[in-house]
Amino acid sequence: MRPFPQHLRPMNEERHTMNSGGIERISFPGGASCHLLRPVQDTQAVPALVVMLAAIAGVNDYVVTRAKNLCAEGYTVAVLDYFGREGAVPDLSTPQRIGEAVAALDDRRVLGDLGEILEWARSEGFPLSKVGLLGFCIGGTYAVLAGAQHAVGCAVDYYGQLSYAARSERKPVAPVDVADSLKAPLLCHYGDWDRLVSREEIDGLTGRLRTAQKPYELFIYNGAPHAFDEWFRPAIFRPAASSAAWQRTRIFLNWHLRGHLGAH
């Protein structure tokens, strides 16, 4: 795993306490928890659920804003809380601490928690074909890994890590290992200035996807670093890339979850 550059440190002041109205916390028997946003009743919208998978900073204001963006378009949104059991995110005060937190997060536990949410979704009337996965950074990694386990409607990966320097009990397989087993259409967004994901890794992913004839779309944004969608970090935010990626994400979700390209 590459070390995290200093400018990619999450901003602690952006933590979200989830005290906002209209956001419901749900806990599951296996220990998973999520924050649920339900849309205002709209008879024009095709019911669909998006499971959001945050970066290592967890459920912060940025993630909640993106969830609300989708909710405003008629989606139900479930934001998986990686750290619900612990009650707080780990120490992210330095790049070293961030790397340690990423390494310590157990992929098996996260994917198990996601499985619980998908079971709940079925009970709520959302078949897998009407569920999309949307992940940012480590959440993008999980979107790909989960897309190889579950035949969801689609998966979207924003600059997720694609390979691991070493396998471990917590990190047994990487996205590139399961690319040829994907069960869902995949959309990926990467910047060509990303210090955490190399062009060689991206080429490795696309090579496997093409060989296995898996449906995917992947975009590389020139001049965009890792986490280029995070508008609260002026040093890395790229407004044009952010806008283009979000519009593509909306189109992708609408097509695969609702069967058309419009907002509803």
Contact 170, 107 (CB under 8 A): yes
DSSP 198: -
DSSP 2: P
Is 137 an active-site residue? yes
Q: Would the CA dihedral through 113, 118, 122, 124 be positive or negative? A: positive
Provide the token pair at 105: 């997060």
Interatomic CA distance for residues 225 and 238, integer angstroms:
8
Is 264 an active-site residue? no
Interatomic CA distance for residues 59 and 55, integer angstroms:
8
DSSP-assigned letters across all residues of 14-48: GB--S-STTEEEEE-TTS-EEEEE-PPP-TTSPP-
Query: Cα–chain-centroid distance for residue 237?
Result: 18
The catalytically annotated residue of 35, 189, 226, 256 is: 226
Indicate the pairing of strand 76-80 with strand 216-221. Answer: unpaired
Sequence letter at residue 129: S
The catalytically annotated residue of 81, 113, 194, 229 is: 194
Scanning the structure block, which residue is given the tokens 């499985």? 115
The catalytically annotated residue of 16, 34, 35, 137 is: 137
3-state secondary structure of 79: strand
Is 154 an active-site residue? no
Residue 104 host element (H or E): helix 95-104
Sequence letter at residue 254: N
Catalytic residues: 137, 194, 226
